[in-house]
Amino acid sequence: MSLNSIFQYFVPKDKKFFPLFEQAGANLIEMAKLLKECVNTPNIEDRKSISKKLEDLEHVGDNITHQIHLELGRNFITPFDREDIHALASSLDDVADFIHGASNRIQLYKVEKTTQPMIELTELILEATEHVAKALFELKDLKNIRNITDSCVRINSVENKADYIFDRAVADLFEFETDAISLIKHKEVLSAMEDATDKCEDVANVLESILVKNA
């Protein structure tokens, strides 16, 4: 049994890391909602406004990650292994980066018309972030292992669906899109969206590792 495992029972579980993880999860949901709104908004100027809000939330996520790292430096005793806290914070930050990246690519590449696969991928990103947030909320009580495991399984399922949609969408682009520049633009946006679900799966993998170590 690790030192952290021995001392975790004496650590106030609701004052340091867990509230920050819950904030990160809630922030990801808000970002995913904005991305979904972005791809469903036909007006380009309205999209710019949504993208700006999304960028602001990405900065909020950066600040949460920074605060988690500060707490790691300040606290000798942590609720679970320090490397797992660092890995969890980093994986959550990666999700935020790719959600923002998808929105940013839509703006930078001047994608005028979003596609059905983009819409479907944003729906899956939102679903994945909701499961991530649920698992993070349950993390403060490791007795509810089944709830966390269920969320991780659902995240993996969402990622598999996103892989299929991405592969199908790219195949259709190569088959039907005759404008090479448009093909590249759409593929880059789709790739960022699919990567966001991959990063949600990375979060699930870290959570599963934490469960194994603290079961």
pLDDT tens sequence across 134-144: 999 999 877 77
Answer whether residue 82 shows pLDDT above 60: yes
Instruction: Give the three-class secondary structure for 148.
Output: helix
The CATH fold assigned to 13-214 is Methane Monooxygenase Hydroxylase; Chain G, domain 1 (1.20.58)
Q: What is the pTM of this model?
A: 0.91
Cα distances (Å, whole numbers) of residue 67 to 40, 75, 188 = 33, 12, 31
Answer whether residue 41 shows pLDDT above 80: yes
> Widest CA span of the chain, in angstroms?
63
Pair 52, 98: CB distance under 8 Å: no
What is the structure's pLDDT at 74?
A: 86
What is the structure's pLDDT at 15?
A: 65
pLDDT in tens, 149-159: 999 999 999 99
Q: Single out the residue of 167, 189, 45, 55 nearest to residue 111, CA to CA.
A: 189
What is the structure's pLDDT at 203?
A: 98
Residue that wins the pLDDT comparison between 201 and 10: 201
Structure confidence at residue 10 as a pLDDT band (50, 70, 90): very low
* In the chain, where the domains are located: 13-214
pLDDT in tens, 180-200: 999 999 999 999 999 999 999
Residue that wins the pLDDT comparison between 21 and 16: 21
How many other C-beta atoms are found inside a 10 Å radius of the C-beta of residue 2?
11
Q: What token pair was written down for 146? A: 């089944």
Q: What token pair was written down for 44? A: 């380009």
C-alpha dihedral, 150 to 206 to 35 to 52, nearest 10° = 150
Instruction: Give the three-class secondary structure for 80.
Output: coil
Q: Residue 213: what are its φ and ψ, rounded to 5°?
A: -75, -25
In our burial notation (b when 16+ CB lie closer than 10 A, e otherwise), range 141-151 reads ebeeeeebbeb
The tokens 């590449």 sit on which residue? Answer: 109
Among the residue ranges 78-82, 87-91, 134-138, the one predicted with the least confidence is 78-82
Answer whether residue 65 shows pLDDT above 60: yes
Q: Quick one: DSSP state of residue 9?
A: G
Answer whether residue 2 shows pLDDT above 70: no
Q: Single out the residue of 56, 38, 57, 206 nearest to residue 132, CA to CA.
A: 206
Answer whether residue 95 shows pLDDT above 60: yes
Pair 206, 88: CB distance under 8 Å: yes
Residue that wins the pLDDT comparison between 205 and 13: 205
Q: What token pair was written down for 60? A: 């909020």
- Percent with pLDDT over 70 in the chain: 93
